[in-house]
Structure 1
Amino acid sequence: MECVGPITCAWAFIGENVASIIATCAMAATFWQGYIARKHNKLSVKPFLDINRHSDYTAFSFKLSLVNQGLGPAIITSYSMKVEQKDCSYQHFHLKADELFKVLSEAVPDLDPIKLSIYTMEKGNAYIQPGEIIDILAINIPLEIYQTTDKALLRAKLDSISYCFDYESIYGQKSQAKYSNKNI
């Protein structure tokens, strides 16, 4: 087909290549839809870890719980605990309970180590499912011991505890959950 002016040439080019133009637009729309779907999928399985503090100062108990309030599983890559700015972490996934016990014993001299429970995660088994709650630290002091305890010192010691959890989603999106007295 011979062109007789610029408008005729443009229509001739479009007419001859309409299938290629439509196929290119369809492919671009497909790639865009794939990108949007992947972005949505990442958001639909994103975990959100929160650390909750529960205290009962009548019959003394203190508990820190880790909760996954997100939509997907959280993969814990590392975590650490500090007490009075001292690192209580060993290597991956193990905590030094004796450091925490030593600090708390200053406030509660008769503290029984059995009443202190610290959750440790084994490497490779550090998944927290959506809605799952894990008590990462629990302290129960019998009432007769708590009555003779320096309560202000005990609260100060408990307030010096901080945790940091590094975690990621199944898509590899990295996040952190932190707890310290400043969060309260």
Structure 2
Amino acid sequence: MKLKRPKLNSDFWSSDKLFGLTAMLISLVTLIIFVKQTNIMDKQTRLSVLPYLMIEQSTNSEAHTIQLSLANHGVGPAIIESRKIVYEDKEYDQDFYTFMTESLPELDSIEPFNWSNVYRGMAIPSNGRVTMIAIGSNVEEFERFGMIMGKLQRDKSFYYEIIYSSIYGDKWKLSSDSEVPEKLD
């Protein structure tokens, strides 16, 4: 048995319908390209304001100074969402200066020459730096503070965490458990 091929009705495929279908196909392809381009632009915009916080310790043996700073090495501002310090099973909602002066009796006699509070809502601009605490004036204070900081860094009961966000609300966690900030969902 032989199959017959269906005949195309030439009235159905008029030039108007072909132009209409072609225009719809072009519109659909344009829409797909537009959506992909918008997603790429959104990613690029978010990356152009990406903050990158690090805690830095600088030591100058000649000037007898030790400085602990929170620095933003990103290209956008970092907005502090929360900060937390855990030490000897106690949780402190304090910045480093307040924690060190109120919770470490060894630091009673050491007077910082510079310090700043780190608080919720604080914005650290791109390439900005906040000196959390700076100690130094004489050799004795310099050496004692260096020993206390070293002991604190080796202490397994000491933990800090700073959660910060970009202007788009993307969040990261900077903690003593990791050398680099961790992106949060």
* Fold in common (TM above 0.5): yes
Structure 2 CA distance for aligned equivalents of residues 118 and 45 of structure 1: 27
Specify the code of the residue in structure 1 equivalent to 2:150: R
Unaligned runs of 5+ in 1: 106-110
- Between Structure 1 and Structure 2, how many residues are aligned? 170
Give the 3 Å change call, closer, same or farther, for CA 77–98 of structure 1 in structure 2. Answer: same
The C-alpha deviation readout for 1:97-131, integer Å capped at 9, x for no partner, is 543441435xxxxx24x33654213443x001000
Query: In the alignment, does 2:57 pair up with 1:53?
Result: yes
User: How far apart are 1:164 and its partner, in Å?
Assistant: 1.9
Which TM-score applies when normalising by structure 2? 0.70
Over the matched positions of the two proteins, sequence identity in percent amounts to 24
Give the 3 Å change call, closer, same or farther, for CA 85–5 of structure 1 in structure 2. Answer: same
> Hey, what does 2:74 align to over in structure 1?
70
Structure 2 CA distance for aligned equivalents of residues 154 and 127 of structure 1: 26
User: How far apart are 1:61 and its partner, in Å?
Assistant: 2.6
Query: In the alignment, does 2:20 pair up with 1:23?
Result: no
Asked whether the equivalents of residues 66 and 135 of structure 1 are also in contact (C-alpha less than 8 Å), the reply is: yes
- CA RMSD, Structure 1 to Structure 2 (Å): 3.7
Unaligned runs of 5+ in 2: 1-5, 180-185
> Hey, what does 2:124 align to over in structure 1?
128
> Hey, what does 2:183 align to over in structure 1?
none
> Hey, what does 2:150 align to over in structure 1?
155
Specify the code of the residue in structure 2 equivalent to 1:168: S
> Hey, what does 2:41 align to over in structure 1?
37
User: How far apart are 1:152 and its partner, in Å?
Assistant: 5.2
Structure 2 CA distance for aligned equivalents of residues 157 and 19 of structure 1: 70
> Hey, what does 2:165 align to over in structure 1?
168
User: Larger RCO: Structure 1 or Structure 2 (Cα < 8 Å, ≥ 6 residues apart)?
Assistant: 1
Give the alignment of 1:1-12 within 5 angstroms: 4-5=7-8
- Structure with higher helix content: 1
Structure 2 CA distance for aligned equivalents of residues 47 and 151 of structure 1: 29
